[in-house]
Structure 1
Amino acid sequence: MSHANAYPYQEVFERYLNRQELAQPTIAEYRSVLADLFNFLSNFNAGYQADHRVATLLDRDVEQYLAMLVNQRQVTNGTYNKMLSHINIYFKYLFTHDLITHYPTLTLKGKSHDDLKTPTTKWLHLMPAILANQQLAFYTRLTMLLTSRYYTISEFLTPGFYRQLHPRDFNQDERTFWQDYQQFITPLQARQHSQDLFLKQRLDGDPHLTAAGLHKYLKPDEKLLGFALTPTRLYQSAVLDYLLQHPKLSDQQLSEKLRLDPQSLNYYRQLAMTYRG
């Protein structure tokens, strides 16, 4: 095949597409999308550049490419969703045929064009008002506070997270909210026999709030605030905002402030370059 090296596992994947009796123009479209994806990763993704192993790719690596499609190429909603579909089918094939051990596009879904624009950072500058807004759920406000301090949802929903939180470092607005939060959570902690910060209201075994459970608090508050409260998007916008506001800090200073390993820091640097450009 003249196009044998356009992207990893091309020959076996395209044999599979042929067995599915896809039209040749459709297969050529898959080829174009996947070649473009891996060309982008080869040029802009440090993790993939290191060894060019497909098995090491994560959802955030594919998200980096998808963000570029929207912010640099300004692809339409339909084009975006079609390209994501092709990429998803490719990785599903690799996963189900034991060529990779995890499925990096499993959680990625088609979104509207507006949802894929540069993450808003306006919420970071509204934090005093947000923390004082008693119409918002306590869990919503704590999520936004912790995210503004560069904690991920997986970190702050992990049992025992409270041990690494240092309220003495909070500013005055944050301390005022924290005092109110303690009044809210202390009775629930006693009822659930847990010192953790995100707890279910009812007793049913594991007392810890799940990501899905947290979403039930965040979703109604989106209407009050007027923007999406997806924790991963909020976290991304917080990190990108810090990188863009502090271009002269060293990698070590950034890693310490954001608690990012070198590979993750480079990933967000690349995203910041995409958004800046």
Structure 2
Amino acid sequence: MKILYPYQDAFERDLSKRDIAQATRDEYTTTLQDFFHYLENFNPTYQADHRVNQLQTPDVEQYLAMLTNSREIQNQTYNKVLSHLNVYFKFLFSHNWTPYLPTLDLKSKPKAATRPVNFRWVDDLTTWLADDRLHVYTRAAMLLTTKGYPVQVYLKPNFTAQLDTTAWPAAEQQFLTQFRAFLAPLQSRFQCADWFLKQRAAADPHLTLPGLHKYLRPDEAVTNFKLSPTVLYQGYLVNYLRRHPRLTDRDVIAALHLEPDSIDYYRRLAQRAD
């Protein structure tokens, strides 16, 4: 297994001992991978020698500020990311792997008023797939979201390479033909059959979440709605629950792979949706 962040094996063993759902553990991985990827590229403290025990509060603040200002995450997401980092650094501190608790003085943000979730984009998927103003990565992300896959799943290596698309409808097949033509030289260069690949030479050809955001954000000027993978996925879930109001919790879990404690939250969003 490729190590995605410092002390990953030990931290994941610790998480596995707790009563934490696999989906939540995957969220920890996504947060920490993104955090250290950002530090590697933009943080002088970490770039100097890649020593996690040198990280202090300003280093975490820098990352959180980027999430707030560049990715425009909502307070709920901010608090979740901060919680993940807090658990991680407390774990390192408890093992004497860092002398600092850089999240100790960082406060969560107040719960913001719930914004209406855009669920209608799902019904217009065929139109968006045919819109050449949108980058193919944007359209592929939208397509995979409507298949029920969150971003942490479809960006995983080997996931899209093994995806069976033969039963997908004609409009989606038409987009896939265009998409495969775009991907062919990249897949040949990197000898990788996955869908989300970097367009420049790299040891790891797979596009990261920050890399995907670089394609999504400019396309918001075309769609006039947020293209954050998390927001798109919320819209898909709300759309699905609105169209299937009579499904039992068991049916919803089976269809959407949601954690049981998330169902009520998304049902309420679906009920409040215009």
* C-alpha displacement of 1:55: 8.2
Q: Give the structure-2-normalised TM-score.
A: 0.59
* C-alpha displacement of 1:110: 5.7
- Counterpart Cα distance in 1 of 2:146 and 2:87: 38
User: 1:166 is matched by which residue type in structure 2?
Assistant: D
1:189 corresponds to which residue? 187
1:126 corresponds to which of 116, 124, 127: 124
* C-alpha displacement of 1:232: 1.0
- Counterpart Cα distance in 1 of 2:124 and 2:143: 11
2:160 corresponds to which of 156, 159, 162: 162
Contact residue 189 and residue 195 of structure 1 kept, 8 A? yes
Relative to structure 1, the CA distance from residue 178 to residue 112 in structure 2 (aligned partners, 3 Å threshold; closer, same or farther) is farther
Matched position secondary structure for 2:118: coil
- Counterpart Cα distance in 2 of 1:128 and 1:222: 17
2:175 corresponds to which of 159, 174, 177: 177
User: 1:151 is matched by which residue type in structure 2?
Assistant: Y
User: 1:204 is matched by which residue type in structure 2?
Assistant: A
Matched position secondary structure for 2:202: coil
- Counterpart Cα distance in 2 of 1:112 and 1:221: 28
* C-alpha displacement of 1:155: 0.8
- Counterpart Cα distance in 2 of 1:201 and 1:253: 40
Identity %: 32
State yes or no: 1:216 paired with 2:214: yes
Relative to structure 1, the CA distance from residue 56 to residue 126 in structure 2 (aligned partners, 3 Å threshold; closer, same or farther) is same
User: 1:173 is matched by which residue type in structure 2?
Assistant: A
2:229 corresponds to which residue? 231
Q: Give the structure-1-normalised TM-score.
A: 0.59
Relative to structure 1, the CA distance from residue 247 to residue 208 in structure 2 (aligned partners, 3 Å threshold; closer, same or farther) is same
User: 1:193 is matched by which residue type in structure 2?
Assistant: Q
- Structure 2, unpaired ranges of 5+: 1-17, 28-73, 95-100
- Counterpart Cα distance in 1 of 2:248 and 2:116: 24
- Counterpart Cα distance in 1 of 2:183 and 2:148: 22
State yes or no: 1:273 paired with 2:268: yes
2:115 corresponds to which of 114, 117, 120: 117
1:4 corresponds to which residue? none
- Counterpart Cα distance in 2 of 1:143 and 1:185: 14
Contact residue 118 and residue 275 of structure 1 kept, 8 A? no
Contact residue 243 and residue 269 of structure 1 kept, 8 A? no
Relative to structure 1, the CA distance from residue 110 to residue 206 in structure 2 (aligned partners, 3 Å threshold; closer, same or farther) is same
1:171-212, Cα deviation, whole Å (9 max, x unpaired): 111111011111111111001111111100011211111101
User: 2:211 is matched by which residue type in structure 1?
Assistant: G
* C-alpha displacement of 1:134: 0.7
User: 1:135 is matched by which residue type in structure 2?
Assistant: R
Q: Please provide the CA RMSD for this pair.
A: 3.9
Contact residue 241 and residue 270 of structure 2 kept, 8 A? no
- Counterpart Cα distance in 2 of 1:249 and 1:148: 18
- Give the number of aligned pairs: 194
